[in-house]
Structure 1
Amino acid sequence: MDTERIGITGHSAGGSAVRTAANKYGKKTDDALKDAMNPKSEGGTTITAQERKRAEDQDRISAVFISGWLQNLDDKKFAHIHSNMGLGYARYDEGGYRNVNGNGDLRNAPEALSMVNSGMDNDNKVDHVEIGHGYGDVDKGNYRIAYNDNTLHPLQPLTPSAIGSIIDFFDTTLDAPIKIDSSHQTWWLKEIFNLISMIGAFAMLFPLTRILLRTRFFAPVAQALPRASKKPRGSAAIKFWAVFLLTAAIAYFTFMPLANLSQEFFADAANKVNTWFFPARMVNSVVLWALVNGVVGLISFYFTRDKDTYPQSERAQAWGITMSWKSFGRTILLATVLLFIYFSILSIVYLAFHNDYRFLVVASRPLTLRWFLLACEYVPAMFIFYFANSLRAAVSTRYSDVPRWQTYLIAALANSFGLAMIFVVQYSVFAATGTVHWTDDWLYVNMLQSILPMMILLPIMNKMFYANTGRVWLGPLVIAPLFITMSLGGSVAYVPGLA
């Protein structure tokens, strides 16, 4: 590593972190220079070359790029920064309402002006910011530049123009030996192949399940698929779609209140205090919602269950709800084997290529001790939601007189419609007014970008596991740990000793 050319960057809270780091190390230099002027110092009140060198060595950061963070930035926040500095902010950042001007426009933003003017002397300070224009001198460490890309906060790290801004900034400030046009980006190809890898990893689970079910040991896990019921008609159809809309409405109206309530239930994580009690702050916002909506799912299944295809005494067995304890134990073991194979292959891929399964904001990472221990806490707490979904998707939307693809579509819509409407409301209001509908809770809405794809896949995968086993248990036993570790891997967790 060239310690004379160290650059740091971070997005969102990471943007605040790199600003803090640059200010912290810059202050070490300022403090050392102040000490060097002490009459009792090596050069007395005169700073010697050696003293200046030692002071400047306290700050090794040559360039810092703040991405996606503008809140509370002022002259004081930049007082000790001696690094070249860039600022990138989404013009349509959902959190822009918190800024002094109430939007994401940097041209007259006091926060951006403070950043630019922190490198200027009093005679050259500016009263507005020209986007993309470099101020100051790279060699003097006072170079400043601001970018205002036409994108959203969570999409900024995935927007070619914003990525190009970071590349241009570091090429300029770190004097890249080989300069490449910042528009020449190939990361999207990696995203596509990552997506293919993820699809392949998920798809692998089903033929692997069928192979294992052919063994004598795991064969009792499966039973013949029960006879499917007819598509609901007349009053039964009205009841079905009424429950569909009701459960979607409950999912919609309970998400934000329960996300906020989670801050009281899991106070330590909400206040960034290290704890072993549900330490993943953002994932906690979904835990109570999953519990409540899991119970709602079970209740809705009870009221909409098919009462005609099987006698009451045979329904639970036919649907694959009941089985012997021995078969249930083998079902748990089969789920464990499937997960072990999945994460083993993922670990091999990561060790060989330093790459995992991820696409945009959805990622499946190798299972470490940290995430395994956390999963042991979160999976039982949220399992009822995954089981209820398996029951509803596998049994309630399986019809003998409807094409299979339609039943998959109905199940996916039923599980995602309520959460999807949160997006529709949030961004419709944002487009119309310039301010998001949920302001203080906007990060919870952003979190849905990674959760919603899982909610669409969940019933589809549950139906596929049910098609393999004729029972509703294997799906949630595999998918719950898989999806929950994906959510945990994309969130900060305040764990003692493992931070």
Structure 2
Amino acid sequence: DWLPQSPPYYIGLWAAVNGIAALVLVGLAYYLYSKQRGADLRSNGVLPGWKAFGKSVLLGAIVVAAAFGLVFFVDYVFKTDFRVWVVTVKAFTVDKVWLALRYLPLFLVYFVANSIALNSFNRFTIAGREWVNTAVLALANSIAPIVLVIAQYWHFFSSGYTFDWFPGITSIWLFPVIVFLAVAAVISRKIYDATGNPYVAGFINAAVVTMIAVSNTLTMS
């Protein structure tokens, strides 16, 4: 089977659909509103040029390799890894890398689109503070899975059953998704502030989330 892990596939497919929807919405917003008010796709990083785009890919690959290199170093020297609540970042075998590459396009669609939407079209301050805007975007990024999880558990506690259209295991899958989406918004904003390029954070977030998902999921053979 080309995609032998169910959770990364279903979450990745859901993410990709949302990413395409986000691109359609920001595209419409740009042509119907922002363009008439002087917005420029080159100045906000959406069209950085092929050379800058290539550098974005290279920088993203270097950052991801360095980050997981640290994970392997800690695993080798201290026999430990990074586990916080529902997120587990651990060492993995080389076959997981090739497997992750199969799922990566789905997550790339979402995280690149998400970074463009957050940084190139939603840069403003609230109450004169940029961090408030970042916090609002982090909440907006994760609000959909938060609502789904709350609705599922509320229904379960009140009726004793989960929703027929929303399997219980899916609620469990969404707990790390909530964390990933909130943290991704913060990371995306910080990297964009330093580079002015929305693609760097998109590549990094997509690769890291895909690798974490694949390395923590059972592979059906």
TM-score (norm: length of structure 2): 0.90
What is the identity, as a one-letter code, of the residue corresponding to 1:445?
A: S
Paired with 2:14 and 2:107, the residues of 1 have a C-alpha distance of 9
1:437 aligned partner, one-letter code: F
1:307 is matched with which residue: 4, 14, 34?
34
State the 1:302 CA deviation.
2.0
In the alignment, which of 111, 114, 136 is matched to residue 386 of structure 1? Answer: 111
Indicate the larger mover: 439-448 or 294-303. Answer: 439-448
One-letter amino acid of the structure 2 residue matched with residue 307 of structure 1: S
Gaps of 5+ in 2: none
Question: Map of 1:190-229 to 2, 5 A cutoff?
Answer: none
Equivalent residue in structure 2 for 1:474, among 175, 200, 203: 200
Q: Deviations over 1:413-458 (max 9, x none)?
A: 2211111111111111112122223477111111111211101111
Q: 1:307 to 1:463 in 2, by over 3 A?
A: same
Q: What is the Cα deviation at residue 285 of structure 1?
A: 1.6
Q: Give the counterpart letter for 2:55 in structure 1.
A: R
CA contact (8 A) 1:390 1:459 kept: yes
Partner of 1:157: none
Distance 1:487 1:361, change over 3 A: same
> Per the alignment, in what secondary structure is the counterpart of residue 317 of structure 1?
coil
Higher helix fraction (1 or 2): 2
Q: What is the aligned partner in structure 1 of residue 83 from structure 2? A: 358
Q: Deviations over 1:154-211 (max 9, x none)?
A: xxxxxxxxxxxxxxxxxxxxxxxxxxxxxxxxxxxxxxxxxxxxxxxxxxxxxxxxxx
When residues 367 and 481 of structure 1 are mapped into structure 2, their CA distance, relative to the original with a 3 A threshold, is farther
Q: Deviations over 1:339-387 (max 9, x none)?
A: 1211111111000111111112211122431221012111113211101
SS at match of 2:58: helix
**Alpha-carbon separation, structure 1, partners of 2:164 and 2:195:** 42
Q: What is the CA–CA distance in structure 2 between the aligned matches of 1:450 and 1:420, rounded to whole Å?
A: 11
In the alignment, does 2:18 pair up with 1:293?
A: yes
Q: CA, structure 1 residues 400+427, in 2 after alignment: closer, same or farther (shift >3 Å)?
A: closer
* TM-score, normalised by the number of residues in structure 1: 0.42
Alpha-carbon distance in structure 1 between the residues aligned to 2:209 and 2:160: 34
Counterpart in the other structure of 1:326: 51
Equivalent of 1:411, from 120, 124, 137? 137
Say which SS state the counterpart of residue 307 (structure 1) adopts: helix
In the alignment, the residues of structure 2 paired with residue 422 and residue 413 of structure 1 have an alpha-carbon distance, to the nearest angstrom, of 14
Q: How does 1:27-38 map to 2 (within 5 A)?
A: none
CA-atom RMSD, angstroms?
2.0
Q: Does the aligned pair in 2 maintain the 1:285–1:444 contact within 8 Å?
A: no
Deviation at 1:309, TM superposition (A): 8.6
> Which residues of 2 match residues 53-72 of structure 1 at below 5 A?
none
Deviations along 1:391-423, one digit per CA (max 9) or x if unpaired, are: 111123211564112211221122111111111
* Cα-to-partner distance string for 1:222-247 (whole Å, 9 max, x where unaligned): xxxxxxxxxxxxxxxxxxxxxxxxxx
Aligned length: 218
String of CA shifts for 1:251-295, please: whole Å, max 9, x gaps: xxxxxxxxxxxxxxxxxxxxxxxx2x1111222221221121111
Give the match's secondary structure for 2:209: helix
Q: Which amino acid aligns with 1:320?
A: G
Aligned match for 1:486, one of 208, 212, 220? 212
Call closer, same or farther: CA 1:455–1:440 in 2, change over 3 Å: closer
In 1, are the aligned partners of 2:155 and 2:163 still within 8 Å (CA)?
yes
1:459 maps to a residue whose letter is: A
1:454 has 2:198 as partner: no
Counterpart Cα distance in 1 of 2:111 and 2:13: 13
Question: Any conservation in 1 of the 2:153–2:162 contact (CA below 8 Å)?
Answer: yes
